[in-house]
Amino acid sequence: MVVSQSNSTPIVSSLLTTTPGKTNSGKESQTSWLLRFFESKHFDMSIAISYLFNTKESGVKTYLCNRLFTFPSEDVDFYLPQLLNIYIYCCNENNEQLMADMLNAYFRTRCSCRTTGIDFSLRCSWLLDAHINDNAKLANASKETRIKRGLNNAIKLYKLIISEKLRPEPQNEINNSNSNNLNNFKKVDSNEHTIQNSKNSNNVLIINSFVKEESSIDMENYSKNDSSVENSSANLLELAKPNGELKKTCEHNTNLVENINLNGSETSLNKAQNTNSSNQANKIHNLSYHYSMHNSVSSNGTNGKKFKPTHHRARSDTTGITNNFTNNRANSITNIKLAIGDLMSGRAFDNNCSCFDGQYNHLIISSIQHNEDNKTTYDKESSSTTSASSSSSTTSETENKENELFKSSVMETPSSLSSNSPNKNIPTISLNNTPYTNSQINDCSCNALRLAPELEFTKALVAIGKKLVRLASKELKNQRLMSELAIINMNLPARVWLPLYDFPHHIVRIPYRSAAVLNSKEKAPYIMYVEVLECDNTHTTPLPPKLLENNLNKLARSQESLALNCDSQSNLIDSNLLSQVGQYSPKSTKSLNPEILLNQPNQINTSNKLTNENFSDCWSINSDSGLHSAPIYRSYKNSFNLNSDNISIDSYMSDYRNDTNGNGNFTFITASEIRRRLEEEDSKSIKSGLNGGRDPDDPSMNALREPWSEKQARIRESSPYGHYPNWRLLPVIIKSGDDLRQELMAFQFLQKLQEIWNQEHVPVYVRPSKILVLSKDSGMIEPILNAVSLHQIKKHQASKRIQNASLLDYFLQEFGQSKTCEDFLTAQKNFVESCAGYSIACYLLQVKDRHNGNILLDDQGHLIHIDYGFMLSSSPKNLGFESSAFKMTYEFVEVMGGVQNDMFAYFKILMLKGFLAARKHMDKLVPIIEIMQLGSQLPCFQKGGAGIVRSLRDRFHLNLTEEQLQIQIDNMITTSINSLTTRMYDNFQYYTNDIH
C-alpha cells in the first residue's frame, strides 16, 4: 500500500519544484533578462516553442520544458507536431539528453493524464508512427548516430504508449489515503474481507496488484454496514450512482449479496461458480443475483429509476469478469473473450471495460422518458419474468428470449396505454438538456486497453481505403465501401470517436449508404458520415445501448416474431394498422436486394458463421449480456413505438421520434404531416437545383451536393438513434495512401493566421479544415460543408450550355438576381474577405496546384482553398506554371465588381491590413514551418534546403514600410490578375485532367 502511494505522487509537481530552482541559481546572470521575459504575461506557447527550438542554452531548454507543464494543454496540443519533431531531431547531442528526458517526462505525464490522456496518447502515437516509418530506412542507411538516437527515442515512446503502460494512477488510492484517514482502520477490515471472499471462491488468488487493493479500499464504503441487510442493500443502490470503480463495486456487490443472502440466491451463485465456463449457469447466476437486487430495491421502496441500474449491475458483473486480472469467477466466463479488431465479432471496438457501463440506463431514461412514465411497473414485471423464466433454466436460451419478448410485449400494453396520459410531456422538458450530469466515474479500474478501441477503429477505416484502391470502377468501389462500412457499423455503438472534432461524443452508427468514394486518380479517399451522440466525456460517459436498425429487420427475420408482434399488439391496434404490416413485408423482402451486401442481418450471421441463430446476439453490445439485456431494449422500443402511435392518433407531434417509425413500423400519419413533408420535398428540390442531374461517374457529387441540414435531417429520420436530443451527424474524409502531415502543417499555419486576424480585428476569412494524421500514409480530413468546387460550377455551366458563363453569373444566380440585393452583397462581401485571406495565405506558403478543382465556394459566397499538397518549394511536376504571387483571375475581380468598384478597393485594403497583421505576428507563423523542416521527408521541403525558411521570411517583406508594402501588394494583385501562367495552368488542367 505504501509503495503504491509513493508511486502516485505526481511527476509534475516534483519537476516543477526542483528544476526551476536549478536554472535560477546556475545561470542567473545570463538568463535573468530572458527569465523576466519568460515570466511575463506575454510569454505564451508560441514563443516557448520557438525558443525551445532556437536556443542553444541547455538551461533555457530545461526551463522551457518545465514551463510546458504550465501552459494550457490545448495550447501545447496545437504545437504537438512541432514538439515531437523537436523531441526526435533536436535532442540528439549528448548534452541535450536532459532535454530529451524532460520532454519525455512531459509526454508521459500527459499520456497518463486522467482526463485528456487518451486523446493525447493517440495523437502522439499516430504522429510517432508516421515519423518512425518515415525514418526507418533513413536511419539504417545513414548510420548517423544522431538520427538513430532520435529515432530510438521516438520508438521507445511509441512502444510505451502503444503498450498502454501510461495510465493514470489509481485515483481512489490517492483519495482514500489522503482524505479518508478517518476510515483507515476500516481498511484492514475490508482487506480481510476480500481475502476471505477470494478464499471462498474456487481459485485462491493472491492480492498482488493494487487494483485489487484499491477495490478493497473501495469496499470500506459499505463494509461497515455489513451487518444489516437493509442498509447494505441501500448502499448497493448508492453505488449505482457515480461513486467510483463500478467494476469493483460489482464484484463486491456480489460478494455482499453472497454474504447477505437475500433470497437464497447463494445456492445458485455457488452453483454458478462450480460449473465452469457454463453459459447457462452463468446466466442463472446473473439473473438470480439480479433478482435479489431487484428485491432489495423494491424492499427499499425505490422507484424504477433507481431500479434500472441494477440491470447493468448484473451485466457488468458478467463482462467485468472477463478482464485479465484477479477475479474470483474468472474461470466461469471464458466465452466472452476480448475481440478487439475482429470486425466480425460485433465487438471489435469493445475493450471489455465495464467500469463506465452501469449507468447508461440513465441515459435511456432521460432521453426517452417522456413516454415512459409508467414504464417502471413494466420493468419490474419483466425482470421478474426474466428471472422466473431463467430460474426454471430448462428452456434453451433462444426460447427463453422469445418468451421474454412475448411476455414483455404483452406486458407493455397496459403501460403504453396508460402512458398516453397528458403528464408524458412533463419530463421531456426537464430532460432535453443534458440528460446525464452524474458521470463522475472518471477512472477505469479494470486495466482494459484504453487506446485499442480507437486505434482499431481508425485502422479499420484506413484499411477500407486500401482495399478500395484495387477495385477498378467507381461503382465497384462505392459498393464495396458501403458493405465494408456496414461491417464496421455492426460493431457500433462503441467507445470510439472522431478525434477531428473537439467535443466529446460516441459513434453510434454509420449510415453507410451515405458514404461515397471521392474523385481521385490513384488513391481512394472517401467521405462518410457518422452518427454520434454528444456526451460529457468520451471516455467515461456510459455508452448508449445498441438499437436495431428498425423493426423492419425483425419482421423480416422470422415470420414467427411477426406473428408474435401482431398478436401481442392486436388488442391495441385495429385491423387497419394490421393491414399495414402486410403492406410493409413485401418491402422488407425487397431490401434483400443483393446490390447492397450485408443489408440483412441474416446474411451477416451466415457470413460470420455464427452458429447462434439469435440475431440480436451479434448485434448487441455484448453477445453474452445481450441475452439478458437485449429483450429489454427491444421491448422499450416496442412500447415506445406503440406510444407514439397513440400520440399520433390523438394529436400529431412533429418529432423525430415519430419520424423514425416511418421506416415501416405502424405509423399513422396525418394529412397535415403529409403536407408538411411534401413542402419539405419541394424546398429540397429547389435548393438542390445547383448541379443538375445525378452523375453516375461521380458518386461523390451526389453525396456532397445535398445541403448539410437536409442530409442531417434525412439521416436523423432514418436512424434509430435519431430521437436522442444529443444526436449529431459528423462528416469525415478518410484518406489512405497520402501523407497528410503537410496538410497538417498548412492547417496549423492557416489556423494561426486566423487567430492573428481575429486578434487584430482584420475581417478576412479563412476556413482551415482540420487534419488528423493517422500514419505516414493515412489520415482524416474535416470536409467543408455546403461547398462546391469552381470546377463543378464551371462544368455545370458548361453542361447547361451557358455561353461565356462566368463566376459572376453563378453568384447572381445563387445569391439573388440583382447586384444590389442584400444576399448578393453579403455573398460578395464574403467572397472578397475570403479571397483576401486565401490570397495572403497562398502567397506566404506559395501554395501551388491552384486549379479550379482545388478551390471551393460555399453557400455563403466564401472562397475556400483546399489541397495543400504543393507548397513552399514544390509545385506540380515543377513545371514552373503559376509564377504569380497567388491565384487571382479576372473572374474573381468581376465578382468583386471590377477593378473600379469599391469592393475591389475593399479587397486591397483587406490584403494590406491582413498582411500587416501577419507580418506583425510573423514569429508565431514561421516556427510552425521551420521546426517541421527538421528531418522532414515532406515534398515541400525537398528542394531548397535552408533557403525555404529564408524565402518564407522574405515574403513577409519586413524591410518595407507600410506605404511601400501597399505598393508591393497592389503590384502583386495587378500582376496576378494579368498573369499568363495562371491562365496557362487552368488551360493545362483543362486539357490534361478535364478540370474546367
Partner 1 sequence: MSSTSSETKIVEQTATAGCSTTVSGRQQMEPNTDYRVVVFGAAGVGKSSLVLRFVRGTFKDSYIPTIEDTYRQVISSNKLVFTLQITDTTGSHQFPAMQRLNIQKGHAFILVYSITSRQSLEELKAIYKDIVETKGINNGQKTVPIMLVGNKCDESSNRDVQTALAARLAQEWGCEHMETSAKTNVNVKEAFQELLKLDPKNCTLFSDTKQNDKSLSQSSLVKNSVNPKKSKESNENRKKKCSIM
First-to-final CA distance of the chain: 71
Selection from 647, 670, 619, 722 nearest residue 372 by Cα:
647
Q: Name the residue nearer to partner 1 (CB basis): 391 or 826.
A: 826
Residues 6+ apart with CB under 8 A from 561: 402, 405, 554, 555
From candidates 906, 915, 941, 985, binder to partner 1 by CB under 8 A: 906
Cell of 235: 448502499
From candidates 145, 231, 759, 817, binder to partner 1 by CB under 8 A: 817
Give the burial string for 243-276 (b: 16+ CB within 10 Å, else e). ebbbbbbbbbbbbbbbebebbebbebbeebbeee
Site for partner 1 in 843-872 (CB under 8 A): 860
From candidates 477, 776, 913, 996, binder to partner 1 by CB under 8 A: 913
From candidates 901, 937, 942, 966, binder to partner 1 by CB under 8 A: 901
Q: Give the Cα separation of 151 and 140 in Å (integer).
A: 11
Residues 6+ apart with CB under 8 A from 919: 956, 957, 958, 965
Shortest reach from residue 799's CB to partner 1, in Å: 11
Site for partner 1 in 421-480 (CB under 8 A): none
Amino acid type, 892: F
Site for partner 1 in 555-594 (CB under 8 A): 580, 583
Shortest reach from residue 198's CB to partner 1, in Å: 50
Characterise 73 by phi-psi region: left (phi > 0), alpha (psi -120 to 50), beta (else): alpha
From candidates 138, 597, 785, 805, binder to partner 1 by CB under 8 A: 785
Shortest reach from residue 761's CB to partner 1, in Å: 5
- 3-state DSSP of 166-225: CCCCCHHHHHHHHHCHHHHHHHHHHHHHHHHHHHHCCCCCCCCCHHHHHHHHHHHHHHHH
Q: What is the DSSP letter of 140?
A: H
Q: Name the residue nearer to partner 1 (CB basis): 74 or 679.
A: 679
| Contact pattern from residue 740 through residue 769 relative to partner 1, giving x for each residue in contact according to CB under 8 A and a dash for the rest | ---------------------xxx------
Using CB under 8 A as the binding rule, whether residue 667 contacts partner 1 is answered as: yes
Q: Name the residue nearer to partner 1 (CB basis): 708 or 890.
A: 708
Shortest reach from residue 245's CB to partner 1, in Å: 34
- What strand order describes the sheet that includes 863-865? 787-789, 855-858, 863-865
Shortest reach from residue 813's CB to partner 1, in Å: 7
| Contact pattern from residue 617 through residue 656 relative to partner 1, giving x for each residue in contact according to CB under 8 A and a dash for the rest | ----------------------------------------
Q: Give the Cα separation of 257 and 252 in Å (integer).
A: 8
Helix (H, G, I), strand (E, B) or coil at 993: helix
Shortest reach from residue 806's CB to partner 1, in Å: 17
Shortest reach from residue 726's CB to partner 1, in Å: 12
| Contact pattern from residue 254 through residue 293 relative to partner 1, giving x for each residue in contact according to CB under 8 A and a dash for the rest | ----------------------------------------
Site for partner 1 in 670-729 (CB under 8 A): 671, 673-674, 677-679, 681-690, 692-694, 702, 705, 707-709, 712-713, 728
From candidates 394, 820, 900, 959, binder to partner 1 by CB under 8 A: 820
Beta strands in 369-425 (DSSP E): none
Q: What is the DSSP letter of 868?
A: -
Site for partner 1 in 24-63 (CB under 8 A): none
Shortest reach from residue 893's CB to partner 1, in Å: 14
Q: Give the Cα separation of 662 and 717 in Å (integer).
A: 8
Using CB under 8 A as the binding rule, whether residue 826 contacts partner 1 is answered as: yes
Amino acid type, 557: R
Region of 72-80, 134-142, 816-824, 979-987 interacting with partner 1 (CB under 8 A): 816-824
Shortest reach from residue 913's CB to partner 1, in Å: 6
Shortest reach from residue 785's CB to partner 1, in Å: 6
Q: Name the residue nearer to partner 1 (CB basis): 814 or 867.
A: 814
Q: Name the residue nearer to partner 1 (CB basis): 331 or 754.
A: 754
Region of 538-546, 638-646, 665-673, 733-741 interacting with partner 1 (CB under 8 A): 665-673
Shortest reach from residue 864's CB to partner 1, in Å: 12
Shortest reach from residue 780's CB to partner 1, in Å: 17
Residues 6+ apart with CB under 8 A from 732: 498, 500, 527, 528, 529, 530, 780, 781, 782, 783
Region of 386-394, 547-555, 734-742, 817-825 interacting with partner 1 (CB under 8 A): 817-825
Amino acid type, 155: I
Q: Name the residue nearer to partner 1 (CB basis): 124 or 703.
A: 703
Helix (H, G, I), strand (E, B) or coil at 662: coil
From candidates 150, 170, 542, 897, binder to partner 1 by CB under 8 A: 897
Q: Name the residue nearer to partner 1 (CB basis): 692 or 947.
A: 692
From candidates 828, 979, 982, 989, binder to partner 1 by CB under 8 A: 828
H or E stretch including 634?
helix 623-650
Using CB under 8 A as the binding rule, whether residue 890 contacts partner 1 is answered as: no
Site for partner 1 in 203-232 (CB under 8 A): none
Q: Give the Cα separation of 120 and 113 in Å (integer).
A: 9
In terms of DSSP bridges, do strands 863-865 and 516-517 run parallel, antiparallel, or are they unpaired?
unpaired
* In contact, 154 and 132? CB cutoff 8 Å: yes
Region of 112-120, 124-132, 813-821, 940-948 interacting with partner 1 (CB under 8 A): 813-821
Shortest reach from residue 527's CB to partner 1, in Å: 16
Shortest reach from residue 657's CB to partner 1, in Å: 16
Number of residues that bind partner 1 (CB under 8 A): 57
In terms of DSSP bridges, do strands 771-775 and 526-534 run parallel, antiparallel, or are they unpaired?
unpaired
Q: Give the Cα separation of 660 and 841 in Å (integer).
A: 45
Region of 165-173, 179-187, 551-559, 669-677 interacting with partner 1 (CB under 8 A): 669-677
Helix (H, G, I), strand (E, B) or coil at 764: coil
Q: Name the residue nearer to partner 1 (CB basis): 825 or 984.
A: 825
Shortest reach from residue 472's CB to partner 1, in Å: 24
Cell of 736: 489512405
Amino acid type, 508: V
Shortest reach from residue 689's CB to partner 1, in Å: 4
From candidates 148, 380, 829, 983, binder to partner 1 by CB under 8 A: 829
- 3-state DSSP of 24-46: HHHCHHHHHHHHHHHHCCCCCHH
Place of cell 471495460: 353
Count Cβ atoms below 10 Å from residue 745 Cβ, excluding itself: 26
Q: Name the residue nearer to partner 1 (CB basis): 43 or 708.
A: 708
Q: Name the residue nearer to partner 1 (CB basis): 842 or 917.
A: 917
Shortest reach from residue 765's CB to partner 1, in Å: 11
Cell of 916: 500587416
- 3-state DSSP of 320-340: HHCCCCCCCCHHHCCCCCCCC
CA distances from 870 to 328, 364, 850, 943, 980 (A): 60, 49, 9, 12, 20
The residues that touch partner 1, with contacts defined as CB under 8 A, are 580, 583, 662, 667-669, 671, 673-674, 677-679, 681-690, 692-694, 702, 705, 707-709, 712-713, 728, 761-763, 785, 813-814, 817, 820, 822-823, 825-826, 828-829, 860, 897, 901-903, 905-906, 909-910, 913
